[in-house]
Amino acid sequence: MIGGLFVYNHKGEVLISRIYRDDISRNSVDAFRVNVIHARQQVRSPVTNMARTSFFHIKRGNVWICAVTRHNINAAMVFEFLNRFAETMQSYFGKLNEENVKNNFVLIYELLDEILDFGYPQNTDPGVLKTFITQQGVRTACKEEQAQITSQVTGQIGWRREGIKYRRNELFLDVIEYVNLLMSQQGQVLSAHVAGKVAMKSYLSGMPECKFGINDKLTIETKGRGTSEDPAKA
């Protein structure tokens, strides 16, 4: 059984707090912050035991989700619940970060009332939960989405600055191929493959439109030979 569940940000501040058992005190919040989040040494174990209290935690982005208990419970069950809880929040309001948690704290408390009953996990299926918790989560656009919206509205391109000018418009393309061949002592080919890349060096002014194509001369000549040799074979 889970005695308490807490959600922290990367600074150790408590975003969500719910205590289900009387044996869990508020001091456990500070214990996890000091010994895990603010620990100078890297915390490698997802389970931390302090003062006969077990802390099971997972991290999603800049958010820590921690389940606290003073009983000897199934660790696999606790981690399964924490991951399901994180997936449920993502299904409601998208990316799990500090801002989304703050904007949806009312919804998160409603979810905790349904998926945990006196510390015992209940139904955590997002599809079932959405049938009776119909509240829509508040989604906050991330930096990538905001940049995409800005470029769509203004036409701004982030990967090339404005006002680029060269005396001569030139473009250099290098096709680099690597042939890897593995042969046995008898000269038998065991494996062979070709890998390559195209390196480009651009000296083009402004935002010109460029079209590139592969020379199909060899392909046409090969097809021509095949058609000319067919009557002879017949």
Structural domains in the chain? 4-143 (3.30.450.60), 160-211 (2.60.40.1170)
- pLDDT for residue 102 is more than 80: yes
The reported pTM is 0.57
Alpha-carbon span 86 to 199, nearest angstrom: 42
Biggest CA–CA distance in the chain, Å, is 94
H helices of the chain, in order, are: 27-32, 75-93, 98-103, 105-115, 126-132, 143-154, 217-233
Between vectors from CA 46 to CA 138 and to CA 49, what angle results, nearest 5°?
A: 115
pLDDT at residue 83, as a whole number? 92
pLDDT band at 187 (very low <50, low <70, confident <90, very high): confident
Please give the span between the terminal C-alpha atoms of the chain, in angstroms, as a whole number. 82
Q: In this structure, are strands 14-19 and 4-9 parallel, antiparallel, or unpaired?
A: antiparallel
- pLDDT for residue 146 is more than 70: no
Between vectors from CA 166 to CA 161 and to CA 168, what angle results, nearest 5°?
A: 145
The average pLDDT across 146-175 equals: 72
pLDDT band at 232 (very low <50, low <70, confident <90, very high): very low
- pLDDT for residue 46 is more than 50: yes
Q: Could you count the other beta carbons within 10 Å of the beta carbon of residue 56?
A: 21
pLDDT at residue 82, as a whole number? 92
- pLDDT for residue 156 is more than 80: no
Asked whether the beta carbons of 65 and 86 are under 8 A apart, the reply is yes
pLDDT band at 149 (very low <50, low <70, confident <90, very high): low
Chain-wide mean pLDDT for the chain? 81
